[in-house]
Chains A and B, each alone.
Chain A
């Protein structure tokens, strides 16, 4: 296996670094300018400037993936993209649900905000979003991964990171799009999804719609629970999504409706296998409206309103009633409204100000189950005021702002945000100090009404250099401290939440990006180390430098090579995770015991062809997890749940057909 890994790495680097020599060619500038206008309309743009360059002065650590990037790597889901971003990883919660970790911290529950077209996708009970065969990846125009607190701007869920997804507009679709993907793991299919979209821009109106549905399996491997009992994920780990997105934009009006339904089947429960798999449904309805008014040219006022309804971990199967803590049927509705303003009194001075209020109404529909108030209904209120001032004189860009948010039970919290950024030619630097917070969610407060908001303080410094038109490198140092972190625990019989004293990590992320005419690449490395006082729930015995489920070292490599023409590209990627620790069933001991999971190489290859036979058809074929590594998603806290398996080697085919109208 070691020889195979060495050989694979050699081939990977050989292709990456020799591709320009193999395919070097260029067009003479004079020849292009001699073309007439009609011919120019048919020339493709190549080697577009890296999106990342324009982010050199952004007051945040941002990684951008465009639809083109997603298409080229052949991503099956958000997880394939997350694997390539330094500092981000995936771990498991309870009942086989996968969530995100940021810079070594478990960031699944209320610590990462997921936005799709401006709508908050975090569910309203625990404030999570399940990863996997969920949220269709091929309808995305652009994803921004923003590390560091965004609470001052976005509120409570953006404590450690924000994932901002922008889907394709009507103008970008300009007709009808049909897409589908099929993945075959070694023992069953990984996913088989299909979607149809329509989009069109009419005068000043833009209309977009997309619907998709599918089926999938979380894995095809075997799983062993905390008692040593086994089952096969092939027969018990379904992951079936339904998704719809409708948007209308025009004359400053923005209307959005999103429906998501993600049905998993699960036997893992809280670490002890159930007798059979139960359906576990996550369903959300998101409606939003906002309208931009410009009373004067320097002032913009945007009133907005959003409605959000969720059912999560919804298990209403009658036989689930027999299993303690599995039958769950809570409906939460949220009404959110606010007004934000943008005022630019001077060319280099912009001020933002806004107010926001939200009401959450939860209804417990499970027979005999009530909230802490003894009733089946409970309401929470949150109000917030936020402001930010951006001053951009010649010598630097300054940003200062903050947010105050209060909840009728959890209490109030103020979070400031300060940043200084500057770019000099190819060099850029950033200094950011920001706070974030997490208001306890509906279900957190059900278990413990005395919970206080947790508070995150992040200091970051970034320096980057654009060596020439094609190469960019950057280095980011960070220090994350969580005060009063809200910790979930499952003792084997009961669930609980509490405020611990402190948690945190520090480390760095570095990346080298290249964008040539014939190939582009991204090499990145991230490292974290644990701060001193960790809650015991996250700690690894005898390894104070790390945390459960987290790899201290992560290397992401991605290279995309243009082949014989601009429509055919080969993508090679590899993610390396260093050794991780988690609790697993130990047969000799007959109980759960800490175990070290060896290093993992997740190597993928994907071949993509645009204009496949005829205009409008794109197709791709790839192999994911080529080395067939038994990569496990580990529970990042000591909650009695063993690790869950990931897909085995998977052959993936994708196709998209666009009809311009």
Chain B
């Protein structure tokens, strides 16, 4: 230790002080994996959305809310895990389905997470008029037909809501959701 140059000793001391300072400044805060957090958001969206027509009827009768995932098998797996981990009597109940086009059209919520924009746009195009709450995670998709589009800011999820698209799909989005998200007219 005595052989170390002064500058290294000073730097070491500063590192230690920084650690202590940092510890004092903040305690541990909650964090979650990307898929875990995304799943929690998607399940929450269902609580703040009302569907019309047949999907409204199913929602009113307490049927499970159908969520279909396309483009990310890992997320589908995590979402299924999260849904299974919920209490048996938790309302609303959810059912996660595969990514066939039939299941997408009949779903209440469609999460399209392809890496390629073209594939996401293709899904959005095919779902036009199906009264689905479409959820994506790619820059610019909220203005290209997705109802809710995620983005990140300071390592936290944020979302934008395409209000006119939600109206054209006969979806009623609650004011809380509109307050927390960035509304695109």
Contact = CB atoms under 8 A, between A and B. Distances in A.
B33 A517 contact: yes
Interface string B111-122: 000010010001
B27 A186 contact: no
Contact of B5 (A28, A186, A612): A186
Interface stretch (A47-55, A191-199, A580-588): A47-55
B30 interface: yes
B172 interface: no
Given A41-B180, A565-B28, A611-B25, A33 B33 contact: no
Interface stretch (B52-60, B81-89, B97-105): B81-89
Contact of B155 (A44, A568, A613): A44
A167 interface: no
B156 A567 contact: no
A29 B180 contact: no
B29 A45 contact: no
Contacts of B151: 171
B152 interface: yes
Contacts of A46: 31-34
A43 interface: yes
A565 B37 contact: no
A29 B31 contact: no
Given A33-B85, A42-B156, A567 B22 contact: yes
Given A30-B82, A174-B153, A184-B7, A45 B37 contact: yes
A48 B137 CA distance: 13
B57 to A, nearest CB: 26
A565 B82 contact: no
Contacts of B10: 651
A47 to B, nearest CB: 5
Interface string B25-47: 11111111110110111011000
B18 interface: yes
Contacts of B180: 37-38, 41
B11 interface: yes
Interface in A78-124: none
Contact of B39 (A29, A44, A565, A623): A29
A396 interface: no
A40 interface: yes
A566 interface: yes
B15 A611 contact: no
B46 to A, nearest CB: 11
Contact of A566 (B31, B74, B115, B152): B31
Contacts of A491: none
Contact of B40 (A35, A49, A54, A344): A35
Given A33-B39, A45-B155, A612-B25, A651 B18 contact: no
B33 A45 contact: yes
B153 A607 contact: no
Contacts of B29: 44, 565-567
Contacts of B82: 29-30, 32-33
A651 B14 CA distance: 10
Given A40-B37, A347-B118, A30 B30 contact: no
Contacts of B78: 29
Given A184-B7, A469-B74, A651-B7, A29 B41 contact: no
The CB with the most chain A CB atoms within 10 A, among B31, B151, B176, B180, is that of B31
Contacts of A612: 21-22, 25
The CB with the most chain A CB atoms within 10 A, among B28, B44, B74, B81, is that of B44
A45 B15 contact: no
B23 interface: yes
B170 interface: no
Interface residues of A, number: 48
Interface string B55-93: 000000000000000000010001001100110000000
A589 B74 CA distance: 66
Contact of A47 (B21, B25, B34, B176): B34
Count class of interface residues, chain B: 35 or more
Contacts of A623: 8, 11
Contacts of B21: 609, 612-613
A204 interface: yes
Contacts of A45: 31-34, 37, 152, 155-157
A469 B74 CA distance: 9
A186 B7 contact: yes
Contacts of B7: 184, 186, 649, 651
The CB with the most chain B CB atoms within 10 A, among A28, A44, A469, is that of A44
Interface in A528-575: 563-568
Nearest to B87: A30
A621 interface: yes
Contacts of B11: 621, 623, 651
A347 to B, nearest CB: 7
A611 B74 CA distance: 31
A643 to B, nearest CB: 24
Nearest to A562: B31
B165 to A, nearest CB: 15
B118 to A, nearest CB: 7
B177 interface: yes
Contacts of B155: 44-45, 68, 566
Interface in A255-307: none
Given A45-B37, A184-B7, A344 B25 contact: no
A47 B33 contact: yes
Contacts of B32: 27, 32, 43-46
B92 to A, nearest CB: 13
Nearest to A609: B22
Nearest to A652: B11
Contact of A37 (B19, B28, B41): B41
Contacts of B36: 27, 29, 32-33
Interface string A149-170: 0000000000000000000000
15 contacts: A27-B36, A29-B85, A32-B39, A33-B82, A37-B180, A40-B157, A42-B30, A43-B30, A43-B31, A44-B156, A45-B32, A171-B151, A469-B74, A565-B29, A568-B22
Given A29-B81, A568-B23, A607-B18, 12 more contacts: A27-B32, A32-B32, A42-B30, A43-B157, A565-B26, A565-B28, A565-B29, A566-B155, A609-B18, A621-B15, A649-B8, A651-B8
Interface of B: 5, 7-8, 10-11, 14-15, 18-19, 21-23, 25-34, 36-37, 39-41, 43-44, 48, 74, 78, 81-82, 85-86, 115, 118, 122, 143, 151-153, 155-158, 176-177, 180
Q: Which 6 A-B pairs have the closest CB atoms?
A: A30-B85, A33-B40, A44-B31, A651-B11, A46-B31, A609-B22
